[in-house]
Amino acid sequence: MSALDCQRGRTRKISKWLPSALCAVLLVSAAARADDAAQFTASVDRNEIGLDETVRLDLTLTVASKNDAGDLQVPQFRDFDVVGRSTSEQVSFAINNGAPSFKRTTVTSLTLSPHRAGNLTIEAARVNIRGGTINAQPITVRVLPAGQAAPPRRQGQAQQQQQIDPFAALDPFANHTLDPFAGVHAAKAGDYTLKASVDNDHPFVGQQVTYSLWLLARGSVSSIDKLELPKMDGFWTEEVEAPTQLVGEARVIDGVQMQLFLLRKRALFPLRAGKTTVDPAEVEVVSGMGMLFSRSAVKRSSQSIPLEVQPLPPGAPAGFDPGNVGSWSLSATAEPLSATVGQPVTLHLVATGRGNLRDLQLPKLPAISGLRAYDATTTDKAAIDHGQAGGTRTVEQLLVPERTGELEIPALAMELFDPTAHEYRTLRTQPIHLAVSPGTGAQGGSPQQAQNLLAAGGLRPIRLKLRPASIGAPPWTQPWFWPALVLPPALLLLGLGAVRAQRTLSSDPGQQRVKLAASAARRRLRGAEQLLARQKSGDGKGIEFYAEIARALSGYLGDKQSISVAGLTRDELSLELAARGHSQVTIDKLISLLDACDQARFAPGASSAAAQEAVLQRADAVLAALDGAKEEAA
Amino acid sequence: MRTKRLIVIGIVLCATALRAAPDAVLSDRLFDDANAAFLAGDLARATAAYQALLEEGVASVELETNLGAALSRQNKRGAAALHLERALFLAPGDDDARADLTELRHSNVDRLEGDQEESGPDALFRFFAPLPGTAAALILLVAWSIACALVGVRLFSPTLSAHPAIVTSSWIAISLALLCGLVTAASAAAHKVALQRAVVIAESAPAREGPQARAASSFEVHEGTLVRIEEEQAGFARIRLQNGLVGWVALGAVEHVVPPRWTDR
């Protein structure tokens, strides 16, 4: 075979395969376009039924073009009989950012009756649209013998959502949704029924409650106007789902085919414990299609929903913040882990999970010796995950090492309450070790900067040597202290007193007599006075009186003046007294008095009491004059 | 005879030392364990070991300071402040305890406004507590006795009264006695204030206008705040803050800096 033949043969092969390839490309592109523009899904209302029951298969086709009707191809079911079929259609038109948006949703509901018990597969349906084909997924249904199937736990969208949601089993709240249409009957429902529901009517403070607002319609719904949600006083709220287009799902109530629309879904976080009520919502439903004059609007209100918010259980750990309720994880990272002095290190503290992100309190970094910390910045990234509010809170803090060596960012702990587990938990990060080395030094001739800044502060290192301290009451509180303090001066005073007494006792008797002369003379005069008194009463003699006066005067002269009256004449006595400085008048009076006493003693006669009193007064006066003159002379 | 007396004295001293030695060894071992736990980051175990030493009756500046640091790291500010204050009572000049206390008070909830932070009795305590009161009191007794004796000699002995040595000695003794008397008086005043000092150990406590639980609350104090207990009645203590605020708080909310076992109270 020549090279030309080979070339021709290759050309023929290409010309033979080219149309087929082009067709394949066109078909794939058409299918891709069909996939882009349309969505086709299949779902069942129950995954487990009895042999004597039916299962409803909903085939939902959503297209974004008026002209794409689509051709639904229902397979021949090997294990099921089709016992009922209905079709509903929902059309919506909206303008988003100035661009018109059209969506047509067609739901074909097939009621299937199983042939046998066991795990049966509902074969995949398909739809041909715009030259392409979209296949729905096959669905497996467990069929139990007749009479053994459990009653349906959930209905409507919740059941559908659980079936198509691979994470629904992880949702702690999924099984708690309270069915808002549990007590609704078709006969009483009317054309439009607005119902609100919560997934938990006994939440803890801070735990999410999902509030949903549903519209159940028997007739057609064109649009929703004036949707007024209740004021959520006492709750922190987050939007979970706010459909911009009405997409209904078929629902059979009492054998009547109806459409169910989700109007709004919100996450509520109760702020305080106690009984509270979510007020009714109001909505205006516009019905009718096409012509404006055929449209009509009706108002509907939902029911109010009582809630009993439980306080957080007792036993909260120290440092627990009431805002930390939910399911969170905590991590800390620093970057870089090796730095030079003065080089910033960024600490990232990240909390991720479910709960009220806005109220979450992350632990604060304590003061770290050797690390200067700057103000932290907080970044929140809210997210809705399977209907649960949550997200990520990131705290970034700039740390600047100020000394060399190994620095440790300690483990940070966050206390939280997990409402799912009904328990408090402590999240801890790992300690982070930074290696800090000296910087490169000064540049451009500038002075050398300190590389190892050793700032004061922080707790001191502990002591390792135990030295017992002496404790006890101080000396001044002891009972012996004050007596011991008073004792020395007391002894001193005692000694002084003793010395003085001793001196007093050992002095000259003559001096004693001199000191006591005046008082001795006065005592004698008082004795004479008593004698005079006895004499007046008839019990005494005048001679004794005068003798006592004479003894008083002579005794005084003897003791005080050292003059012996008995051995002197009156002239000698006068001279002696004059020599001692006494006045002549006093001397004369003394001598006169002595003479009078001698005369009365030695020549007794009648002596009146008055005369004796006069003598006594004269004696007092003379004694006073003598003693006074003596002291003056002294 | 003299040898026998020395032997008896030696036996008595050895017996006393042997009886005290096991306690000291055990205390040191427990203290070492507590320090090891502290350094390993096991603060709860360290705190328990330090407190066990306290219950054994050990009084030590190092023990109180380390316990204060361990409690401080666990953010138990009230108890930490209490033990650091106790360390300062045992050794008023201890630098570590004072620095830790200063660091701890930076994070106190209560900030006092009004008068300066330390005034009156608290300033008195701060200035006079470091004085060596016990030594001064003992020296006072000796110097006072010597001074009285020398005065007596001068009074009773005319021949020695003018002797320069006697005169100088008597003046020195009198001056020393006066100085020690002043120091003792200041220390006694500071000691009196120290016995009133207390720390709020409850996380928070309402200060009421009277010693009743239903009395109106005029303000609230928080852990770590230093107060003086002026009076106790019916389970309540009348406290005075450093800026003069006065109120009644539950007795359990405050604790004396000086525990009763350290004094004869």
- In the predicted structure, residue A612 carries a pLDDT above the cut 90: no
The sheet carrying A71-73 orders its strands as: A71-73, A126-129, A132-135
Q: Within an 8 Å CB–CB cutoff, is residue A462 touching chain B? A: yes
- B212 and B171 inside one domain: no
Whether the model pTM is above 0.90 = no
Q: Within an 8 Å CB–CB cutoff, is residue A475 touching chain B? A: yes
Listed range (A67-76, A195-204, A223-232) with the worst mean pLDDT: A67-76
- In the predicted structure, residue B4 carries a pLDDT above the cut 70: no
Residues in chain B: 265
Q: Name the DSSP letter for residue A271.
A: -
Task: Tokens for A120, please give them.
Answer: 């049966």
What are the start-end ranges of the H helices in A443-480?
Answer: none
Q: Within an 8 Å CB–CB cutoff, is residue A503 touching chain B? A: no
Q: Nearest-CA neighbor of B26 among B46, B56, B48, B47?
A: B56
- In the predicted structure, residue A159 carries a pLDDT above the cut 50: no
* Domain endpoint, select from B105, B120, B150: B105
Beta strand extents in A162-208 (DSSP E only): 192-198
- In the predicted structure, residue A511 carries a pLDDT above the cut 60: yes
- B101 and B18 inside one domain: yes
What's residue A412's pLDDT? Answer: 92
User: A316 CA to chain B: closest CA distance, Å?
Assistant: 15
Q: Which residues contact B82 (CB under 8 A, 6 or more apart)?
A: B68, B199, B201, B255, B257
- B69 and B155 inside one domain: no
Domain of B27: which CATH number?
1.25.40.10
Third-level CATH fold of A326-437? Immunoglobulin-like (2.60.40)
Q: Tell me phi and psi for residue A74, to 5 degrees.
A: -85, 125
Percent of chain A past pLDDT 90, that is, above it, reads 18
Over range A461-476, report the average pLDDT: 84
Beta strand pairing status for A235-241 and A248-253? unpaired
What's residue A606's pLDDT? Answer: 63
Q: Within an 8 Å CB–CB cutoff, is residue B148 touching chain A? A: yes
Please give the torsion angle defined by the CA atoms of residues A588, A593, A599 and A605, in that order, rounded to the nearest 10 degrees: 130
Select the highest-mean-pLDDT range: A255-269, B1-15, B115-129: A255-269
Q: Which 3 state secondary structure label does DSSP give B206?
A: strand
Q: Which residues contact A323 (CB under 8 A, 6 or more apart)?
A: A206, A356, A359, A360, A361
**In a domain? residue B48:** yes
* Residues of chain A with C-beta less than 8 angstroms from the C-beta of B59: 468-469, 471
**What CA–CA distances, in Å, run from A340 to A107, A336, A452, B191?**
66, 10, 10, 51
Residue listed under structure tokens 């059309």: A91
Sign of the dihedral through C-alpha A82, A88, A89, A90: negative
Q: Which residues contact A479 (CB under 8 A, 6 or more apart)?
A: none
pLDDT tier at A599 (50, 70, 90 boundaries)? confident
Beta carbons of A474 and B134 less than 8 Å apart: yes
- Annotated domain spans of chain A: 36-153, 187-309, 326-437, 509-633
**In a domain? residue B124:** no
Quote helix, strand, coil % in chain A, to nearest 5.
30, 35, 35
Task: Tokens for B68, please give them.
Answer: 């204060």
**CB-CB neighbours of A555 under 10 Å:** 17
User: Identical fold at A326-437 and A509-633?
Assistant: no
Tell me, rounded to whole angstroms, the distance of Cα A397 from its chain centroid: 23
Q: Tell me phi and psi for residue B214, to 5 degrees.
A: -95, 0
Q: Which residues contact B55 (CB under 8 A, 6 or more apart)?
A: none
Q: Within an 8 Å CB–CB cutoff, is residue B139 touching chain A? A: no
* Cα–Cα distance, A41 to A472 (Å, whole number): 88
Q: Are A206 and A421 in contact (CB under 8 A)?
A: no
Over range A610-633, report the average pLDDT: 79
* Residues of chain A with C-beta less than 8 angstroms from the C-beta of B144: 485, 488
Q: Are A289 and A220 in contact (CB under 8 A)?
A: yes
Q: Which residues contact A157 (CB under 8 A, 6 or more apart)?
A: A249, A260, A262
Q: Nearest-CA neighbor of A372 among A306, A257, A453?
A: A453
Q: Within an 8 Å CB–CB cutoff, is residue B63 touching chain A? A: yes
**CB-CB neighbours of A627 under 10 Å:** 17
Q: Within an 8 Å CB–CB cutoff, is residue A483 touching chain B? A: no
Q: Are A394 and A428 in contact (CB under 8 A)?
A: no
Q: Within an 8 Å CB–CB cutoff, is residue B206 touching chain A? A: no
What's residue A433's pLDDT? Answer: 92
Q: Which residues contact A610 (CB under 8 A, 6 or more apart)?
A: none
- B206 and B187 inside one domain: no
* Cα–Cα distance, A303 to A47 (Å, whole number): 31
Task: Tokens for A570, please give them.
Answer: 């009156």
Closest-CA residue of chain B to A366: B73
Beta carbons of B58 and A466 less than 8 Å apart: yes
* Cα–Cα distance, A283 to A269 (Å, whole number): 24
Q: Nearest-CA neighbor of A50 among A120, A139, A150, A123?
A: A150
Q: Nearest-CA neighbor of A263 among A306, A304, A289, A302?
A: A302
Q: Could you read off the pLDDT of A253-291 as tens digits, one per residue? A: 777 788 888 889 999 999 999 999 999 999 988 876 655
- B147 and B207 inside one domain: no
Output the CA angle A443-A449-A454, nearest 5 degrees: 155
Q: Within an 8 Å CB–CB cutoff, is residue B58 touching chain A? A: yes
Which is more confidently placed, A176 or B68? B68
- B79 and B10 inside one domain: yes
A/B interface, count of CB pairs below 8 Å? 99
- In the predicted structure, residue B149 carries a pLDDT above the cut 70: yes
Q: Could you read off the pLDDT of A13-55 as tens digits, one per residue? A: 444 444 444 444 444 443 444 444 678 888 888 888 887 778 8
Q: Which residues contact B167 (CB under 8 A, 6 or more apart)?
A: B154
- Best of B145, B153, B183 to substitute, by most chain A Cβ atoms within 10 angstroms, is B145
The domain total for chain B is 3
Q: Can you say whether residue A70 is alpha, beta or left, with left for phi > 0 and alpha for psi between -120 and 50 degrees?
A: left
Task: Tokens for A234, please give them.
Answer: 């006492």
For helices B2-39 and B61-73, what crossing angle results, to 10°?
10
The domain in which residue B216 lies consists of: 196-262
* Cα–Cα distance, B78 to B59 (Å, whole number): 20
Over range A410-417, report the average pLDDT: 92
Task: Tokens for A181, please give them.
Answer: 């249409």
* Residues of chain A with C-beta less than 8 angstroms from the C-beta of B191: 474, 477
User: B133 CA to chain A: closest CA distance, Å?
Assistant: 8
Query: What is the DSSP annotation of B6-46?
Result: HHHHHHHHHHHHHHHHHHHHHHHHHHHHHHHHHHTT-HHHH
Over range A446-456, report the average pLDDT: 63
Residue listed under structure tokens 């209302």: A45
- B209 and B188 inside one domain: no
Residue listed under structure tokens 């309402």: B206
- B200 and B185 inside one domain: no
* Cα–Cα distance, B180 to B82 (Å, whole number): 31
- B97 and B7 inside one domain: yes
What's residue A244's pLDDT? Answer: 80
* Residues of chain A with C-beta less than 8 angstroms from the C-beta of B60: 466-469
Beta carbons of B65 and A463 less than 8 Å apart: yes
Beta carbons of A318 and B191 less than 8 Å apart: no
Which is more confidently placed, B62 or A155? B62
User: B59 CA to chain A: closest CA distance, Å?
Assistant: 6
* Cα–Cα distance, A435 to A405 (Å, whole number): 6
Q: Which 3 state secondary structure label does DSSP give A494?
A: helix
Cis peptide before A166 (omega within 30 of 0): no
Beta strand pairing status for A338-340 and A55-63? unpaired
* Cα–Cα distance, A311 to A278 (Å, whole number): 18
User: For residue A354, what are the β-bridge partners?
Assistant: A327, A390
> Cβ-count burial of A520 within 10 angstroms (0-12 exposed, 13-18 middle, 19+ buried)?
middle
Query: What is the DSSP annotation of A377-440?
Result: EEEEEEEEETTEEEEEEEEEEEEEE-SSEEEEE---EEEEEETTTTEEEEEEPPPEEEEEE---
pLDDT tier at A170 (50, 70, 90 boundaries)? very low
What's residue A451's pLDDT? Answer: 67
- Best of A320, A365, A415, A459 to substitute, by most chain B Cβ atoms within 10 angstroms, is A459
First CA to last CA across chain B, in angstroms?
45
Q: Above 0.85 for ipTM, yes or no?
A: no
- In the predicted structure, residue A83 carries a pLDDT above the cut 60: yes
User: For residue A275, what are the β-bridge partners?
Assistant: A308
**In a domain? residue B58:** yes
Name the residue among A458, A473, A475 with its Cβ closest to that of B264: A473
Q: Which 3 state secondary structure label does DSSP give A218?
A: coil
- In the predicted structure, residue B70 carries a pLDDT above the cut 90: yes
- In the predicted structure, residue B162 carries a pLDDT above the cut 50: yes
Q: Can you say whether residue A423 is alpha, beta or left, with left for phi > 0 and alpha for psi between -120 and 50 degrees?
A: beta
For helices B2-39 and B43-55, what crossing angle results, to 10°?
160
Q: Nearest-CA neighbor of A328 among A376, A393, A261, A373?
A: A393
User: B68 CA to chain A: closest CA distance, Å?
Assistant: 10
Whole-number mean pLDDT of chain A?
79
Name the residue among A319, A459, A468 with its Cβ closest to that of B72: A459
Over range B87-107, report the average pLDDT: 89
Name the residue among A466, A474, A489 with its Cβ closest to that of B133: A474
Class of domain A36-153: mainly beta
Listed range (A125-139, A165-179, B129-143) with the worst mean pLDDT: A165-179
For A509-633, CATH gives 1.20.120
**In a domain? residue B110:** no
Q: Could you read off the pLDDT of A278-333 as tens digits, one per residue? A: 999 999 888 766 555 566 788 888 988 999 999 999 988 888 998 999 999 999 99
Name the residue among A466, A485, A496 with its Cβ closest to that of B31: A466
For A187-309, CATH gives 2.60.40
Burial A52-82 (b: 16+ CB within 10 A, else e): ebbbbbbbbbbbeeeeeebebeeeebebbee
Listed range (A516-525, A530-539, B124-133) with the worst mean pLDDT: B124-133
